[in-house]
Structure 1
Amino acid sequence: MKSDDDFYKSEMHNLHSAIETNFHDSISGYYFVELDPTKRETKFGHKREYSWLWALCAMFEATNEVEKVDQNADLVDGIFNNIQHYYDPAPPVPGYGEYIVKLNKGQRYYDDNQWIGIAGLEIYERTGDTTYLDLGKAMYDFMMTAYDTKLGGGLYWRENDFESKNTCSNGPGVIVALKMYKATNKQAYLDTALMIYNWTNEKLQTPTGLFYDNIKTEDESIGKAIYSYNTGTMLQSNVYLYEITGDEKYLKEAIKLADSSLEYFYGNGQFRDGYWFNAVLLRGYQHLLKHHKDLKYILGFKKALDKALTEDKSDKGLFASNGSTYNLVEHGGMLEILARFTHLEDNYDLGNSK
């Protein structure tokens, strides 16, 4: 079953080199948000040429996946150290702001902190380094300041903005809580996970089993955009719940989400939204494969990936599609995808990769 091709591994290493060459500023040590200096945003009177926290979240998870398949890689600590420039200890609970604090800290987003928590807990599971368990606990504590009982529960999207509760802050919230439960065996974390999971299914799941973007607190109107990462977090939540509880209903729900998302997001053989959004859905597909051996989800995703590798790559080895710019968050997403496919090509027959 194992492939001798190493096609995706080669693509992974090439992309990581291209990211470091083109996005990492050797003078400041920060990462650039955009390749094109004219597209770096001015906000609040300051030019924000360096990366938003979100892109470093993408790089944090991606470099952890690279380390899983390349034992010589030593990358996550460097990204984590870079993230510390975004640390904001403001009350009620410390967290990470959207931008470099000493330059212009801006808003704190609950989902950004959750992505950091998820990656940190993944690193803890892999290495046993309690620094990253402590990070997961801190991100859990921060995200729970987003909870109240409006609309019956759920988490807001960003601090001091009570307009909406979003799948992008509730789906990863379930995963942070579940991973904290796995790490500590404390029932309170599982209780939190189930509370958020049930609320998200009730308020934001579509009739076909995907997930809407948000619900407004004022009138309960639904923001009906459907993104791959929202389905991805809820799919993976179901896989974790199946592993933790042994209840088959969660595995059945995960398969239902995988089936619905495969047709919706990959039925036309290309990525429907950004690379990073798709990376989060791939997490769910890859996790599901441990318990449901059908490769159709991975192979459907692979068609879109191979198309992007053929059509979206520039002479610099960077990626842009659907009119998007060369930005760091999408490159973090593509790097994670390639690292995950490196694992998959080493363990499954994926067919021709060229």
Structure 2
Amino acid sequence: MIINKNGLLLVLFLIFFSNFLSAQKDFKNGNGFYKKERQSLQASIHKNFYDKASGYYVVVVDPAKREKKNGYLREYTYIWSLCALYQAANEIEKLEPKAKLMAPLLKIMYDYFKPAPPKPGFSDYIMKLKPGERYYDDNEWIGITALDAYSRTKQKSDLELGKLIYDFIMSGYDQTLGGGIYWKEGSASSKNTCSNGPGVLVALQLYQATKNKAYLDTAIKIFNWTKEKLQAPSTLYYDNIRTKDGSISKPVLSYNTGTMLQANIYLYEITGDKKYLQEANVMADSSLSFFYAHDKFRDGFWFNAVLLRAYQHLLKYNSDKKYILGFKKCLDDALKNNKNEDGLFVGKEGVQSLVEHGGMLEILARYAWIENKYNLSEPNSSLSTVSKK
């Protein structure tokens, strides 16, 4: 068969257009799109952030942008980034139980572990390389993930890690300003939503795992304090309260709202009190309009991942698809406009840090689960389950 030049161009155009339509269909309707994106990002993170020679991850790709602290170069990542990867690994294992990603990460994280009084906990940096400080929120993210994993695997070591984290964070609780947990050990300048909201979650997860009422009592006590001191009129949450004068630092970030939104959902599950579910629905509406109305993420990927945890949890009790679809528009925008040729995400200052990539990895793993269970393309207001044989 002979095809002239114009005919060949037509054939090539039809092939390209067919592939384009197929890709668009995957993008809009699921069909494993987010799973493929997650797999691609996972490989890019390993290639660009993992230092095989040392066995550690680097905090940023560009060596010139790595931080010096107290005269020492922080070549490797802070534990916060590993917290992000650890939660992402848990979400991936929910989809692929044989992946076994969490254990290697936890092994690395124990190089940051500081068994010092008043209670053992994780430092922000590798102990043998001039360690820094112990942050209560860093430890809480680890505890949340370990207890998430325990609910899935019933592995005793995850429960024990959750208990260890609880003991450490409660060493940061006192009655200054009537209660609450400080942001970091050795600093009494502020009590933050980011150290109290996730502290509530650790306590609630421990109650669910053990049915020890002391954990529930603690959770409610810290929850009520945080709500009283740091909730904005919008029902979202401010950043922190200063202990010196009780003044409020008022940035509103998605992760702070996310932990307190999810705390309401857990409290509804545990107590059956509908006021918590009502509050969760109100907060979800407020957060949707504040964070996702313009189809672009207004703060970092990892912060948004924490709020997505609450949205996904809320699906058990509120099937309205608007929260997941509103978030999805921002996710799709980032996938379309913020990736470079290496499959990494860039911002105004170039390639973003490991913690942001860990946050995006968690987001993609969660959407891989969502697209497998729900039909995201339906235009009606209720999220329907995809039929699975």
**TM-score, normalising length: structure 1:** 0.97
- 1:23 paired with 2:23, answer no
Matched AA of 1:333: G
- 1:2-17 equivalent positions in 2, closer than 5 A: 5-17=31-43
- Post-superposition Cα deviations, 1:32-60, rounded to whole Å, max 9, x if no partner, equal 00011000101111100101010000000
- 1:79 paired with 2:82, answer no
Aligned twin of 1:196: 222
Q: Go from structure 1 to structure 2 and tell me whether the alpha carbon gap of 1:329 and 1:96 turns closer, same or farther (over 3 Å shift).
A: same
Aligned twin of 2:190: 164
Aligned twin of 2:150: 124
**TM-score, normalising length: structure 2:** 0.89
Task: State the 1:349 CA deviation.
Answer: 1.2
Q: Percent identity?
A: 57
Matched AA of 1:275: F
- 1:245 paired with 2:279, answer no
Task: State the 1:322 CA deviation.
Answer: 4.5
SS of aligned partner of 2:118: coil
SS of aligned partner of 1:351: coil
- Post-superposition Cα deviations, 1:163-219, rounded to whole Å, max 9, x if no partner, equal 000000000000000000001000000000000000000000000100000000010
Aligned twin of 1:49: 75
Which consecutive segments of 4 or more residues in structure 1 shift more than 6 A?
none
Aligned twin of 2:89: 63
SS of aligned partner of 2:189: strand
* Structure 2 counterpart of 1:92, from 99, 102, 118: 118
Counterpart contact for 1:229–1:278, Cα < 8 Å? yes
Matched AA of 1:303: K
- 1:311 paired with 2:337, answer yes
- Post-superposition Cα deviations, 1:143-172, rounded to whole Å, max 9, x if no partner, equal 001100010100000001000000000000
Counterpart contact for 1:36–1:326, Cα < 8 Å? no
Task: State the 1:335 CA deviation.
Answer: 0.2
- Post-superposition Cα deviations, 1:272-330, rounded to whole Å, max 9, x if no partner, equal 00000000000000000100110100000000000000001111111123546421100
* Structure 2 counterpart of 1:112, from 138, 145, 158: 138
Aligned twin of 1:263: 289
Task: State the 1:74 CA deviation.
Answer: 1.5
- 1:282 paired with 2:327, answer no
Counterpart contact for 1:155–1:166, Cα < 8 Å? yes
Which one has the largest radius of gyration? 2
Aligned twin of 2:385: none
SS of aligned partner of 1:158: coil
Distance in 2, Cα, partners of 1:283 & 1:206: 21
Q: How many residues were matched structurally?
A: 350
Matched AA of 1:249: K
- 1:231 paired with 2:290, answer no
* Structure 2 counterpart of 1:145, from 158, 171, 189: 171
* Structure 2 counterpart of 1:297, from 317, 323, 327: 323
Aligned twin of 2:10: none
Q: Go from structure 1 to structure 2 and tell me whether the alpha carbon gap of 1:203 and 1:290 turns closer, same or farther (over 3 Å shift).
A: same
Distance in 2, Cα, partners of 1:64 & 1:255: 26
SS of aligned partner of 1:146: coil
Counterpart contact for 2:264–2:276, Cα < 8 Å? yes
Task: State the 1:69 CA deviation.
Answer: 1.2
Q: What is the aligned-residue RMSD (CA, Å)?
A: 1.0
| 65-74 or 241-250, larger mean C-alpha shift | 65-74
Task: State the 1:350 CA deviation.
Answer: 1.0
Matched AA of 2:209: A
Counterpart contact for 1:124–1:133, Cα < 8 Å? yes
SS of aligned partner of 1:162: coil
Q: Return the structure number with greater relative CO, CA threshold 8 A, min gap 6.
A: 1
Matched AA of 1:286: Q
- 1:33-44 equivalent positions in 2, closer than 5 A: 33-44=59-70
Counterpart contact for 1:56–1:79, Cα < 8 Å? yes
Task: State the 1:128 CA deviation.
Answer: 1.1
Q: Go from structure 1 to structure 2 and tell me whether the alpha carbon gap of 1:74 and 1:292 turns closer, same or farther (over 3 Å shift).
A: same
Task: State the 1:65 CA deviation.
Answer: 0.3
SS of aligned partner of 2:98: coil
Counterpart contact for 1:85–1:100, Cα < 8 Å? yes
Distance in 1, Cα, partners of 2:174 & 2:350: 36
Aligned twin of 1:340: 366
